[in-house]
A and B are shown apart, each in its own frame.
Chain A
Amino acid sequence: MDTPALAATAAPAEPNPAAERLARAQQRESVGRIALPVVIISLLLLGWEALVRVNEIPHYILPAPSLVLKTLFKNWGSLAPSLWFTVELTLMALGAAVVGGVLIAMAFALSKWVEIALFPIAVVLQVTPIVAIAPLILIYVDSTTSALLICAWIVAFFPILSNTVIGLKSADSNLRDLYQLYGATPWQRFRLLLVPSALPYFLGGLKIAGGLSLIGAVVAEFTAGAAGRETGLASRILESSFRTEIPMMFAALLLVSLLGIVIFIVFAALAKLLLGHWHESELRREV
């Protein structure tokens, strides 16, 4: 007969000893992924602590990690509002960067002429060091908080813009033809084809922009000085350096680092959640 059995050539894997071995190996790997960095960091901290204690280094030159922690807890009452201020500034700048970056990227993707007209301006904003323009922005903008926000936004929006533009243009040309063949509306093409194609690029930009918005927030506040009534972690670092309160500087620095790490972890998890089931960048390869 010419009518062949159209049976599929492969069946889903059944559980077997090899699969169990694989599962154990995976478990070992996921434990290692967390345990190894924790061990390394603990060793570094212990070495630091020992170095300070053995050499009796004075705390105004290099405070021991234990003293930094103690300072952090003792001054939590005054550090917490600063931390909150920096968190707010960073998140607002990032939110504005996402909205602005994505909207401008969509305008670029829709019209070649908009891109040709505006892209140089985006590049100028990107390449000009924020430290150099921050004083000007502080002069022209009344509210210090708004000025800080603008500075952080300028730093953070570019990676989102450029990545999203590339992403929106990266849709497979045959798939574009297919959508045309089936008479897709512009909205269907945008929602079902362009957005998923751009997502990996956008999330890559978001990871970079998350870190940059924190850097932008801190740098802008440094430039503004501790002038405002509301102050963030950068002002606390500056302020303690004037008073040579080195443990306090370290405590504020620790909070900035932790904030950066949390932002990174959140966006890495988001990328895994959205891309884990299909995109090469998030697939775990078996060796």
Chain B
Amino acid sequence: MTTPAPDTAMSTANAVPPSAPLVTLDRVSKRFANGTLALQDMSLTIGTHDFVSFLGPSGCGKSTALRLIAGLASATAGTLTWHPQRGAQAPKTDRDLGFVFQEPTLMPWSTVFDNVWLPLRLAGIARDAADATVREALAMVGLSKFATVYPRELSGGMKMRVSIARALVTHPRLLLMDEPFAALDEMTRSKLNNDLLAIWREHRFTVVFVTHSVYESVYLSDRIVVMAPRPGRVIAELRIDEPYPRLSSGFQVSTRYNEYVKQVQQALHGTMDGVAVDH
């Protein structure tokens, strides 16, 4: 194996997550029915309040890892452990997770309000009882005025905001996002990135963010898990020790930002070299 050394990170190698662990993956593997090893021996602890990015090229298992954490697929080997928090039970598959897909994935026959209400509705909460919570979630993403509108009347960015409001309406501890802004234009994407950071900082949930954009992962995350394909695996982990808020501090135009990007790119090129040697 030609796995590159993971300690290319700028941060100290023994950096421990400053927060309590939320979920731990221990040598988790997933093999599809057709024999493809989508994910091999992934070990990772996600801490409370972390903003973790899974970064890598197509086929590196980053979406598979996300689906395993969400409970939408089951691991063929290894264990996934939820750590109890503040006396709370380990989250079952419902209500303590939010999931945002690459597509907005809204129900076209329902209004914005009804789409955001869905997770509560499925938990048996009536419309009246859910009203305040749904409106709060819509306000969070800046769509208060659009409760009665149908998804087709919204732009791509606004649909994605509805999708985020729906994921956050249950106040989950963990928000899973699968390349959520990949289909949006650059300006909408940048705006949504900043809004997401603001909401995350205000509400202190944990985010696992799947992306194939180096710039996006460096700007958003405090941890980046770099992954490589064939078989999908983790090959490096980096910390971005940069305080938030990052918009006003001009992080994106700083030399530190460029150095982080360079590091991540080197780690990624390692993954591509590895692929070349493997074959």
Contacts and interface: CB of A to CB of B under 8 A. Distances in A.
A10 interface: yes
A6 B108 contact: no
Given A6-B140, A6-B141, A172 B152 contact: no
Nearest to A184: B122
A179 B248 contact: no
Interface string B133-144: 000000111111
A225 B233 CA distance: 75
Contact of A182 (B101, B119, B141, B201): B119
Contacts of A183: 92-95, 122-123
B134 to A, nearest CB: 14
A196 B155 contact: no
Interface string B113-132: 00000110111000000000
Given A8-B158, A181-B71, A1 B245 contact: yes
Given A4-B195, A8-B158, A183-B94, A177 B72 contact: yes
Nearest to A3: B198
Contacts of A172: 105
B71 A2 contact: no
Given A2-B245, A2-B248, A8 B143 contact: yes
B99 interface: yes
B216 interface: no
Interface string B176-210: 00000000000000010011011001100000000
Contacts of B201: 2
A9 B195 CA distance: 13
Contact of A8 (B71, B93, B123, B142): B142
B194 A4 contact: yes
Contacts of B245: 1-3
Nearest to A185: B122
A74 interface: no
B197 A2 contact: yes
Contacts of A7: 142
B269 interface: no
A212 B95 CA distance: 47
Contacts of B257: none
Contacts of B246: 2
Contacts of B197: 2
Contacts of B150: 277-278
A60 B110 CA distance: 58
Given A182-B95, A283-B152, A2 B122 contact: no
Nearest to B188: A9
A183 B124 CA distance: 11
A29 B109 CA distance: 27
A237 to B, nearest CB: 43
A199 B107 CA distance: 13
B20 interface: no
Interface string B141-157: 11111100011100101
Contacts of B108: 278-279
Given A4-B195, A9-B155, A182 B118 contact: yes
5 contacts: A4-B198, A175-B105, A181-B99, A182-B119, A277-B109
Interface of A: 1-12, 172, 174-175, 177-184, 188, 192-193, 196, 199, 277-279, 283
7 nearest A-B residue pairs (beta carbon): A2-B245, A6-B142, A183-B94, A174-B105, A182-B122, A196-B109, A2-B247
Interface of B: 70-72, 92-95, 97, 99, 101, 103, 105, 107-110, 118-119, 121-123, 139-146, 150-152, 155, 157-158, 191, 194-195, 197-198, 201-202, 244-248
Given A9-B155, A181-B99, 4 more contacts: A2-B197, A188-B122, A192-B122, A278-B109
